[in-house]
Amino acid sequence: MYFASDNWAGAHRSIAERLFRESDGFAAAYGASALDRHVERRFAEVFEREVTVLFVGTGTAANSLSLASVQRPGGITFCHSEAHVIADECGAPDFFSGARLLGVPGAEGKIDPEKLRVKITAFPQTAVQHGRATAVTITQATEAGTVYTLAEIDKIAAIAQKDKLSLHMDGARFANALVSLGVSPAEMTWKRGIDMLSFGGTKNGCWCAEAIVFFNPAQANEMPFIRKRAAQLFSKSRFIAAQFEAYFENDLWLDLARHANGMSDRLRAGIIASNASRLAWPTSANEVFAVIPKRAAKTAVERGAKFYEWPVPPATPELVGPSETLIRLVTSFATDDADVDGFLDCLAS
């Protein structure tokens, strides 16, 4: 019953096998091998467009270097107030980009477009003392387990484009959002106006496979130097490439995300059906936020379940009663029915 995070899982067998097979033989280092080239082309196929792809080792690196690529002195990147980039990366995006992140609030983990619009107007390109708006980043799926609809992305993109701001998507859980919406990778990204994407494989069945995808290759000109200086160019780069090859093969990545989301669906259904517990807010990817009796939480911990109690959002203190607690449950490719049902049993007891 491991619901602490999808990164507590190991690696999917097909990916682990593919990596194992790659252990033999020799190949050019630092991303120059045939396999690296081949997998880069797979990204182009997946996204139905010429793209520039750079492998990196962590989601924090993918986000930080994406944002670094479009920053200018005094620049400001807007993100949701609780986005991973501002809340959980120890300042790495600021460190690598030399810019500042500014949180914009919004319900259910999504940037409120109107608030974004107003915030941006406070940082015109000419008011040197304030700094200047340069980029927007959205998280898909969000930290709150929700997913921006295509129309919602359009709205953010229109605001960004109006002021010529670059638009980045943190796709640490890209696949989970994608299968939740049932759209194509192209439809969820460049067709919406996304300029660059942190494409995460680690949370969805890889060991360590993250990529930065630029939909306009010209914008990636500086990236080889940015990545190398950031210590993110791996000598045996093909150990990342091999993982991605297996990830894409026969749409494995979509199957894994569908499985993870399905396990969250099962959790959601069980919680809705329960007497004493309820969903804190609706989610549609592989995260579930639930208000449960403290007693049930205690039972679950005693039975070995792993999950995090979550801070109650300051805006809605009434969400959680005095004998209750807010918890986050994350499912992954490796979660199975028994895990879910075992947890739901704890709630019922």
Under rule CB under 8 A, residue 44 binds its own copies: no
Q: Which is nearer to its own copies, 82 or 195 (CB)?
A: 82
One of 45, 48, 88, 337 touching its own copies (CB under 8 A): 88
Binders of its own copies in range 206-235 (CB under 8 A): 207-208, 222, 224-226, 228-235
Tokens 């690696």 found at: 11
198 in contact with its own copies (CB under 8 A)? no
Position of tokens 């880069």? 40
Size of the site for its own copies (CB under 8 A): 74
Q: Is 2 in the site for its own copies (CB under 8 A)?
A: yes
Which of 99, 147, 153, 347 binds its own copies (CB under 8 A)? It is 99
- Asked if 4 touches its own copies (CB under 8 A), the answer is yes
Report the residue from 46, 51, 61, 133 that binds its own copies according to the rule CB under 8 A: 61
- SS3 labels along 248-277: HHHHHHHHHHHHHHHHHHHHHHHHHHCCCC
Instruction: Supply angle C-alpha 11, 230, 76, rounded to 5.
Output: 105
Q: What is the CA radius of gyration of the chain?
A: 20
Q: 3-state class of 128 per DSSP?
A: coil
**Cα separation, 185 vs 194, whole angstroms:** 11
13 forms part of the interface with its own copies (CB under 8 A): yes
| 24 burial type by CB count under 10 A (0-12 exposed, 13-18 middle, 19+ buried) | exposed
Question: With CB under 8 A as the contact rule, which of the stretches 87-95, 155-163, 279-287, 341-349 interacts with its own copies?
Answer: 87-95
- 37, 38, 41, 130: residue in contact with its own copies (rule CB under 8 A): 130
Buried b (16+ CB within 10 A) or exposed e, 174-197: bbbbbbbbebebeebbbbbebbbb
Residues 131-150 that bind its own copies (CB under 8 A): 131-132
Convert residues 20-39 into a mask of x (bound to its own copies by CB under 8 A) and - (unbound). x-xxxxxxxxx---------
Distance CA(31)–CA(238), nearest Å, equals 7
| Residues 288-307 contacting its own copies, CB under 8 A | 306
Q: Which is nearer to its own copies, 31 or 293 (CB)?
A: 31
